Amino acid sequence: MITRNPLKHYNKHLVNQTLVAIVKDLPFNALSPSPIPHTTPPWTVSAVSEVLRSIPRYFFQSPRSIGRQKPLRHRAPLRQRNLHDEQRKFHDNILVLGPAAYRDPVKVNLGLHKAIEFFNWVETRFGFSHTETTCREMACVLARGNRVKLLWNFLKEMSSWESSEKLVTTETVTCLIKVLGEEGLVNEAMIAFYRMKQFHCKPDVYAYNTLIYALCRVGNFKKAKFLLEQMELPGFRCAPDVFTYTILISSYCRYGMQTGCRKATRRRIWEANHMFRLMLFKGFVPDVVTYNALIDGCCKTYRIERALELFDDMKKRDCVPNRITYDSFIRYYSAVNEIDKAIEMLRNMQKLNHGVATCSSYTPIIHALCQVGRVLDAWGFLVELVDGGSIPREYTYRLVCDALCYVGEGTLLDNDVHKRITDGIRNRYSQTMKFKPIMARKGYPELERV
């Protein structure tokens, strides 16, 4: 028999009730919840943190971001933002590009106001004592709302509070550096890093790695390498680790491909390989993430000899490759029309049990087979993909269907596989419609053609 925790269930109900009041802009005093046990306070640290963590999701995201996929696809290079320029453009009704695009300033201001009001309300109304966790979540709300001056004042006030627990710690400032870097406010992230001493904190290697990653995202490799050289000084308290070099290697490869310039791409790939060799010279052992970043960069820039050399070195060091490693080679061989080698890579991955093949493994092969006219082989790989428990993208399945009809093999679509794929696609659309109801008015034009 499963026993339900009444306090946990009550906290969940309390959080949902508070979020409804925040979204509807209702006064918090109208809630006035009473705890189940009289000896237990109505608000816990986890409940307050969950409310603060949910505010950016409801107020700071644009409608285009609701129900979006994980950001694993190609994105434009991030740039340092100018908040004063963005405010001027919002005031003059000028289009704003970047992370602030399609944001509603009214909703952002409302979310910030309700977050500050809730933060003070739970303290004055229920005598809740804020901890390092709740202060960190409140600081992240201010950072995601791009209220930098208010953020510095909040941290200064929290660091001066007399409490049994330190409210502003190194982990808090490191989390802020990460959030500010994701928002494109890298200069503000550097200010937070150098203000650690003001908040009586000492940076650790994780804080350095977070700042280096934020700098690399905007292409400021000069400052990132300066921090790395500072960490490499003899006797420095924060020595670099494998993750530090991996950040720079992956950022060199990613940023070089995003620039769209061959010379810049060639330069960044050379710097990534140089950083990899420097990493080996320093005595660090690269892991699978480091190899995957460099192999993917070499494959996407058509340096297959170097990628295979890294693949062999990976095996010599007993570093087991995974699906990400094989997918880089599969995409390269499919792009250069060497489909048999791509299939060989797929079979080796399955034979050696180095990963489970998914849509990212099968899709490049299926597209390449359709382009060269091997439609029946493409259909066989599509059936194998469905038997493995994955559902292809609508574009991939439509491409195979059109190719089968073109060669006169449309009868293959009248079987159970076709029904399983169409049902899976419809189910995926129905899940998306829960977040984007506007799609319900447009119907399913993609499915009508399948």
Residue with tokens 């797929």: 346
Using 50, 70 and 90 to split pLDDT, how confident is the model at 98? confident
d(CA 378, CA 310): 30
Contact criterion met (CB below 8 Å) for 327 and 307: no
Say which range, 240-244, 268-272, 301-305, 412-416, has the weakest mean pLDDT.
412-416
> Please, which pLDDT band fits residue 41 given cuts at 50, 70 and 90?
low
Return the pLDDT at 70.
52
Residue-wise pLDDT tens digits, 310-330: 999 999 999 999 999 999 999
Q: How far is CA 322 from CA 241, 271, 288, 304, in A?
A: 22, 25, 8, 18
Q: Give one DSSP letter per residue of 92-131, joined into a string.
A: TT----STTTT--HHHHHHHHHHHHHHHHHHHHHH-----
Residue 58's closest CA among 21, 31, 12?
A: 21
Average pLDDT over every residue of 36-61: 79
SS3 161: coil
- Taking alpha carbons only, the member of 319, 354, 317, 316 closest to residue 329 is 354
Between 194 and 39, where is the model more confident?
194
Q: Does the predicted model carry a pTM greater than 0.95? A: no
Q: What does the pLDDT read at residue 259?
A: 67
Share of the chain above pLDDT 90, in %: 48
Rounded CA gap, 450 and 447, in Å?
A: 5
The pLDDT score that the predictor gives to residue 9 is 63
Answer yes or no: is pLDDT of 410 > 80. no
Token readout for 53 is 């963590």
Band (112; pLDDT cuts 50, 70, 90): very high
Check residue 74 and give its pLDDT: 44
CB 308 within 8 A of CB 316: no
What is the rounded average pLDDT of the residues 66-93? 70
Q: Span 33-47, mean pLDDT?
A: 64
For position 152, what pLDDT does the model report?
A: 93
Q: Which residue has the tokens 């109900």?
A: 13
| Local confidence band at 28 (pLDDT 50, 70, 90 cut-offs) | confident
- State the amino acid at position 86 in one-letter form: E
Q: How far is CA 132 from CA 48, 54, 161, 204, 425, in A?
A: 12, 18, 12, 18, 44
Which tokens sit at 215? Answer: 């700098």
Our CA angle for 203, 206, 212, nearest 5°, is 95
pLDDT band at 30 (very low <50, low <70, confident <90, very high): low
pLDDT tens column, 240-289: 999 999 999 999 988 877 766 778 888 889 999 999 999 999 999 999 99
What is the pLDDT confidence band of residue 429, given thresholds at 50, 70 and 90?
confident
Give the chain's end-to-end CA distance (angstroms, integer). Answer: 47
Residue 207 has pLDDT above 90, yes or no: yes
Q: Worst-scoring range by mean pLDDT, 40-49, 396-405, 437-446? A: 437-446
Neighbours of 446 (CB within 10 A): 14
Instruction: Give 142's pLDDT tier (boundaries 50, 70, 90).
Output: very high
d(CA 47, CA 39): 17
C-alpha–C-alpha distance, residues 11 and 33, integer Å: 10
In this prediction, residue 126 has a pLDDT band, given cuts at 50, 70 and 90, of confident
Residue entry with tokens 């005598």: 127
